[in-house]
Amino acid sequence: MAFYAPGQLLSPNLSPSLSSRTRKSTNATPSASSSAIKCDLSSTPNPQSFKSLSKTLAFSTATGFLFHLSSIPSLISPTCNGTGAGNGDFSGGGDGGGGGWNGGHGDEGFWSRLFSPAAIAKEEESPSQEWDSHGLPANIVVQLSKLSGFKKYKVSDIQFFDRRRWTTVGTEDSFFEMVSLRSGGIYTKAHLQKELESLATCGMFEKVDLEGKTKPDGTLGITISFTESTWQSADTFRCINVGLLPQSKQIEMDADMTDKEKFEYFKSQEKDYRRRIERARPCLLPLPVHREVLGMLREQGKVSARMLQRIRDRVQKWYHDEGYACAQVVNFGNLNTKEVVCEVVEGDITQLVIQFQDKLGNVCEGNTQLAVVRRELPKQLRQGHVFNIEAGKQALRNINSLALFFNIEVNPRPDEKNEGGIIVEIKLKELEQKTAEVSTEWSIVPGRQGRPTLASIQPSGTVSFEHRNLKGLNRSILGSVTTSNFLNPQDDLAFKLEYVHPHLDGVYDPRNCTFRASCFNSRKLSPVFIGGPGVDEVPPIWVDRAGFKANITESFTRQSKFTYGVVMEEITTRDESSHISPNGQRQLPSGGISTDGPPTTLSGTGVDRLAFAQANITRDNTKFVNGAVVGERDVFQLDQGLGIGSKFPFFNRHQLTLTRFIQLKEVEEGAGKPPPPVLVFHGHYGGCVGDLPSYDAFTLGGPYSVRGYNMGELGACRNILELAGELRIPVKNTHVYAFVEHGNDLGSSKDVKGNPTEFYRRMGHGSSYGVGVKLGLVRAEYAVDHNAGTGAVFFRFGERF
Amino acid sequence: MASHLTREWAGIQQFPAATLAKLLELMGKLKQENVSSLTILVMGKGGVGKSSTVNSIIGERVVAVSAFQSEGPRPVMVSRSRAGFTLNIIDTPGLVEGGYVNDQALEIIKRFLLNKTIDVLLYVDRLDAYRVDNLDRQVIKAITDSFGKGIWRRGLVVLTHAQLSPPDGLNYDDFFSRRSEALLKVVRLGARIKKQEFQMVDRVSLLERHHEALECNMDDFSSIMLGLRESLKLFAYTKKQAATMPMLEIAVSINDSAIPVVLVENSGRCNKNDGDEKILPNGTAWIPNLMEIITDVVSNGSKAIVVDQKLIEGPNPNDRGKFLIPFILAFQYFFVVKRIQRAIKDDISKESKPLWELRDMGLANRDF
């Protein structure tokens, strides 16, 4: 089956262990009554199946997110070749369930079963024909013991009756959630007895009774009458972390102990408890919440069961809000003293297990070395730390970014050997190591008369292969060849072969260096040989690059990195008809084409070979504030010629880009909150000293240079300065923006050989301003070209900065 | 056709006696200044009469001229010697093709001129063109870019088709001065001669338009110039007709950069004076006049333009500052890369960690 139970992801099976503890504590301090039920996180009590299902549901809201991440790809497209493993939509943790619904498309039965307990009850009970009528006269009160043990009663109505207040309490009362019975459910006498027993032992009630009332239609109305437990008032509150504390010994209280013995017994119990409190570690609960609870205690004179429930809810809420998904209030101790002690199991991690699974979910030996995975884990997931769901998410994200696994689960489960402990299990399903792919397509090319001819139908496509995770160290080789015509591949062949070697300093070194080597080729239209405004069509020049590149990337943070390496390449400049073209071209008014333009290459032959060193350092501390980018980004890029190649090119080509995203208003962060208005400043300086072939000249104009102009429309120059400002105002779910930009060649166009700026009659500088709106990925903007004074509407993909 | 052989100047004999005498006198004058050869470069747009002018000066039909066809695409050098004095005239193809400066033609000219010395540049245009446009400016700019600003110190503006009847409402002088003024302005713009110089020239021409007695103006003028602390020389070439037709040719020399304007009429129907000399509407015999101005320009103290490889290719911007690259690289490493690295470190230390991480590190102190 393709479905995947999300509950298995994070299922701290805490209830059993906790309930045993509570039993103990009830005994240990007779005054301290505590709760088994309290420890269930689930707020929707179920009939029968409650116990088994509540565990899986317990974290469903919290895990929905994880589920979202890890298993959706495998669910939606089980055949997807793995690159999509966790497409990394990290936002929207709030609606975790959403992913699940999508995933379970074909298995509605399962999901509905999982999410609606009533349905399960029905399903479990229904096979043997509905329910039995009580067979008694209507409207009489029946004690529980008087009910028949063989009948299945249908409960049509449940009421709570508070004996102390002498009122019936509604379903909104906090006690109600402790009862797993639901109206409409079908129960046997044994069920009802068990329910009563669990209510009686939970410590919340001094006395609790269950009565049935017969209804005319054969169903049963149930009234639970109770007396709430109360203790003397307290004025201090203490919260302790009892996780991993060894069980205190259970000394059964003998029924026929003398008073003295009893006194001794209680005394030793108290001593034990005090020691326990002392040994307990301080808990994470912050003082503000602490004070809040204290306020609650002071407000109400007596400590009542409801009161404790509220305290429990408050404390647990804080823990769960902060992501401590495994934290539980397990007990209230020291009741009937001046102090209320809230015992919390915070979820200390006792073990971290990394496990590989095969496609069927069986544990298997993985190819990946564990250290590769381990270095991606935040240290908060290691032994001795408190489990936090955020750490789990981070682990998921980090592991996912390795792109080695198609399914990742981070699964905290209770440690059976170590009470209150959590074992974090990381279950990984590895992607196929070797993949190869051939995709083909036929493109029909218009022929002479615009009609496709047989000869012009070309088979095109891509052949690619990938060998991932070599030696289990995440090294990979990948290659691809793309051509638009397989019959004549030399016409237009794009290839790429890349080797990636991460953890250059060894897997255990904290430095994160990656070595990359690649062979590549590319073909681009040169923006240098572009006409200025009003110039007739300039015959295009294509710049073909083919070469080899090797570099080392050192990542400092997720976004900041330093890359350095060497590039060796051959550059060929071609005209429209793929002939090598050593000079730029110009259309003459007579219709002819003159090839007396600026030289395209350094060598003057149309083919350059050169080797140079390249370095790039990026400092990026931008972050998202409600979806708006805020922060700073600095990039310095350097190409240093080494004097190797045609005409011994020696040059220093450098670019510095500074971008500032300034948040103009403090906003509250959180999902669904509006983003702040942001002011963006952008400056780009580029310069080149030494040999500068045309294909390396800086070009002015274009969506990433000066908006409102075409690529290269303003010129090609040796030194470049671009300045831009943009104001982004959030509107609804998107933002509108206004911008001003200026680009200038600093008079350096004439320092490019052949002065292509002048040759194609371009200005060499230009400004623009305009407004735009972001529509999803597309930017729609109206930009006014300041040189001509005319405006136009543009649609662009992606961000400018 | 391009005869590089230096031939005896036969054509000089054809000139009327007065012209001949004048030419010989000028040659002698040049020889006195140790100038035994003179190279004149003739440039201009197509169809303005460059080749005809060359023919007129030499007095022979050395370059083919056709009324409707553009001249040959290659430059031609004509060399003539007379009495130990050599005159080289280089005729060039028109610089304009299809409304644009023909860079290819310019390239050919430059290559042709390689290793030659240019003494004088004749920038030829027509007098009977009424307006100047951007194209003129670009032609000038192309010439300036090719040979440097210095060429204009050795430059003359030659206006052909001088024998014309000006449009209604203008007398010949007015027309001429306006035309030359406009053209000079373009030359100055195109050649990027300093604005200051340009303004001075403007003032000079302004003064001259009201042709009062030159002397009195001279005083005013020099006082202005003195005020500007600029050395200035003003030449006025006046002929015997100067009384009736003043300001035939104006040459303003400021900071040794003088661009005289000379009129030329190559047509066979050109009026002639008693001595059979070709004369302008104002009565000047233009060939001796032209030669005289050329002689003056040559002896104005400026340097001749030597065309070498460097001049043709221009200063190679790719070579500029190359030796600085190691220093630039060091600077970049220590002041840019290191700085950004430090900023990254700062970022890491300043990074706001989520609360749960802080709590885990024991930094929370139960405050949050």
Give A615's contacts in chain B (Cβ within 8 Å): 337
DSSP A173-233: STTGGG----TT-EE-HHHHHHHHHHHHHTSSEEEEEEEEEE-TTS-EEEEEEEEE-EE--
Per-residue pLDDT at A69: 32
CA distance A290 to chain B (A): 10
Residues 76-105 of B with CB under 8 A from A: 97-99, 103-104
B68–chain A Cβ distance below 8 A for any pair = no
Would the CB atoms of B356 and A718 count as touching at under 8 Å? no
Q: Which helix (H) or strand (E) holds A727?
A: strand A720-731
Q: Does B108 touch chain A (CB under 8 A)?
A: no
CA nearest to B103 within chain A: A596
Contact state of B351 with A596 under an 8 Å Cβ cutoff: no
Of A96, A119, A109, A120, which Cα lies nearest the Cα of A3? A109
Q: What is the pTM of this model?
A: 0.68
Residue B88 assigned as binding residue: no
Q: Select, from the ranges A67-81, A171-185, A416-430, A606-620, the one with the highest average predicted confidence (pLDDT).
A: A606-620
Structure confidence at residue A74 (pLDDT) = 31
Q: Is B105 annotated to bind ligand?
A: no
Query: Best mutation site among A283, A385, A512, A560 for testing chain B: the one with the most B CBs within 10 Å?
Result: A560
Is B199 in CB contact (< 8 Å) with chain A? Answer: no
* Residues in chain A closer than 8 A to B106 (CB atoms): none
Residues of chain B contacting A690 with CB distance shorter than 8 Å: 318-319, 321-322, 325
The predicted pLDDT at position B356 comes to 81
Give the distance from residue A173's alpha carbon to the nearest chain B alpha carbon, in angstroms.
Answer: 31
What is the pLDDT, as a whole number, of residue B226? 47
Q: Is B47 annotated as a binding residue?
A: yes
Among A737, A703, A741, CA closest to A721: A741
Residues from chain B that touch A650, judged by Cβ atoms under 8 A, are 322, 325
In this predicted structure, the answer to whether residue B343 has a pLDDT above a threshold of 60 is yes
The answer to whether the Cβ–Cβ distance between B360 and A388 falls below 8 Å is yes
Q: Structure tokens of A699?
A: 């070009």
**What pLDDT digit, counting tens, does each position of B88-131 carry?**
888 888 888 777 777 778 878 888 888 888 888 899 988 888 77
Instruction: State the pLDDT at residue A768.
Output: 94
Identify the residue with better confidence: A799 or B253.
A799
Q: Provide φ and ψ at A431, rounded to 5°.
A: -75, 160
Contact (CB<8Å) B317/A753: yes
Nearest residue to A335 via CA among A387, A247, A430, A270: A270
Residues A338-365 have a mean pLDDT of 88
**Mutate which: B347, B350, B361, vs A, most A CBs within 10 A:** B347
Lowest mean per-residue pLDDT among A692-696, A724-728, B147-151: B147-151
Tell me the Ramachandran region of residue A282: left when phi exceeds 0, alpha when psi lies from -120 to 50, beta otherwise.
beta
Is the confidence at residue A721, as pLDDT, over 70? yes
Mean pLDDT check: name the lowest of A42-56, A343-357, B78-92: A42-56
Distance between CA atoms of B281 and B172, rounded to whole angstroms? Answer: 8
Contact at 8 Å (CB) between A737 and A786? no
Q: For A617, which of B337, B345, B356 is closest by C-beta distance? A: B337
Query: What b-and-e string marks burial along B295-306, b requiring 16 or more CB atoms within 10 Å of the CB?
Result: bbbbebebebbe
- On whether B97 is known to bind a ligand per the annotation, the reply is no
Tell me if B367 and A656 make a contact (CB, 8 A cut-off): no
Query: Which candidate from A282, A286, A640 shows the least CB-CB separation from B329?
Result: A640
Dihedral (Cα; B217, B220, B223, B227), 10-degree rounding: -120
Of A288, A588, A750, the CB nearest to B98: A588
Q: Are B345 and B354 in contact (CB under 8 A)?
A: no
Q: How far is B162 from chain A (nearest CA, A)?
A: 31
- What's the mean pLDDT in A717-740? 93
Distance CA A204, CA A306 (A): 8
Separation in Å, CA of A66 to nearest CA in chain B: 18
pLDDT at position A1 is 32
**B315 in contact with A, Cβ within 8 Å:** no
Residue A558: closest C-alpha in chain B: B348
pLDDT, residue B314, reads 67
Q: Is B163 annotated as a binding-site member?
A: no
Give CA separation, A447 vs A459, A747, B351, in Å. Answer: 15, 46, 60
Name the least confident of A17-21, A123-127, A253-257, A490-494: A17-21
pLDDT digits (tens, 9 = 90+) for A222-257: 888 888 888 888 888 888 888 777 665 556 666 677
Residue A723 has pLDDT above 90, yes or no: yes
- pLDDT recorded at residue A117: 41
Minimum-distance CB partner of B348 among A385, A556, A594: A556
Residue A302 has pLDDT above 60, yes or no: yes
pLDDT at site A54: 28
Nearest CA in chain A to B102: A596
Most confident region among A127-141, A174-188, A634-648, B14-28 by mean pLDDT: A634-648
Residues paired with B60 in a beta bridge: none
Stretch among A68-72, A791-795, B12-16, B208-212 having the lowest mean pLDDT: A68-72
Query: Is residue B325 pLDDT above 90, yes or no?
Result: yes
Name the strand (E) or helix (H) holding A102.
Answer: helix A96-103
Q: Which residue of B has its CA nearest to A390?
A: B356
Tell me if B104 and A594 make a contact (CB, 8 A cut-off). yes
Q: Which residues of B touch A391 (CB under 8 A)?
A: 356-357, 360
Three-state SS for B356? helix
Is A638–B332 a contact, with Cβ atoms under 8 angstroms apart? yes
- Residue B310 corresponds to which tokens in the numbers above? 């460097």
Residue A562 burial class via C-beta count within 10 angstroms: exposed 0-12, middle 13-18, buried 19 and up? buried
Model confidence at A728, in pLDDT bands (50, 70, 90)? very high
The verdict on whether residue B271 carries a ligand-binding annotation is no
Beta-carbon contacts below 8 Å between A and B = 109
Q: What are phi and psi of B212, to 5 degrees?
A: -85, -175
Per-residue pLDDT of A436-459, as tens digits, reads 999 888 777 766 666 666 666 777
d(CA A350, CA A374): 16
Quick check: B98 and A589 CB within 8 A?
yes
CA-based nearest distance B66→chain A, Å: 22
Which chain B positions have a beta carbon within 8 Å of A347's beta carbon?
A: none
Do A590 and B98 lie within an 8 Å CB cutoff?
yes
* pLDDT-derived band at B72, boundaries 50, 70, 90: low
Domains and CATH numbers, chain A: 140-228 (3.10.20.310), 231-248+259-345 (3.10.20.310), 348-430 (3.10.20.310), 502-797 (2.40.160.50)
- Percentage with pLDDT > 70 across chain B: 77
CB-CB contact of B289 with B264 (8 Å): no
Residues of chain A contacting B103 with CB distance shorter than 8 Å:
596, 759
Homologous superfamily (CATH) of B7-195+254-314 is: P-loop containing nucleotide triphosphate hydrolases (3.40.50.300)
Q: Read off the amino acid at residue A503.
A: H
Are A689 and B324 an interchain contact pair (Cβ–Cβ within 8 Å)?
yes
CA distances from A359 to A76, A79, A362 (A): 15, 11, 7
Q: Tell me the average pLDDT of chain A.
A: 78
More confident site: B273 or A407: A407
Closest CA to A202 of A34, A15, A17: A34
Residue A218: exposure state from Cβ atoms within 10 A (0-12, 13-18, ≥19): middle
Q: How much of chain A, in percent, has pLDDT values that exceed 90? A: 30
- Average pLDDT (B277-283) is 81
Question: What ipTM was assigned to the predicted interfaces of this complex?
Answer: 0.73
Q: Are strands A339-345 and A236-241 parallel, antiparallel or unpaired?
A: parallel
Average pLDDT score over residue span B284-311: 81
Check whether B52 is labelled as a binding-site residue: yes
Give B262 or B229, the one with higher predicted confidence: B262
B251 annotated ligand binder: no
Mutate to test the interface with B, among A241, A590, A621, A758 (most CBs of B within 10 A): A621
Instruction: For chain B, give the mean pLDDT.
Output: 75
Q: How confident is the model at residue A476 (pLDDT cuts 50, 70, 90)?
A: very high
Note whether A740 and A725 are within 8 A (CB): yes
Distance to chain B for A388, nearest Cα, Å: 7
Instruction: Kindly state whether B321 is in contact with chain A, defined as any CB-CB distance less than 8 angstroms.
Output: yes
Q: Do B356 and A596 count as a contact with CB atoms less than 8 A apart? A: no
From A467-481, A492-506, A595-609, B105-119, the region with the lowest mean pLDDT: B105-119
Which chain B residues are closer than 8 Å to A689 by Cβ?
A: 320-322, 324-325, 328
- Does the annotation place B70 within a ligand binding site? yes
A719 pLDDT more than 70 = yes
Residue B368 contacts A, CB cutoff 8 Å: yes
Contacts of A636 in chain B (CB under 8 A): 332, 336-337, 340
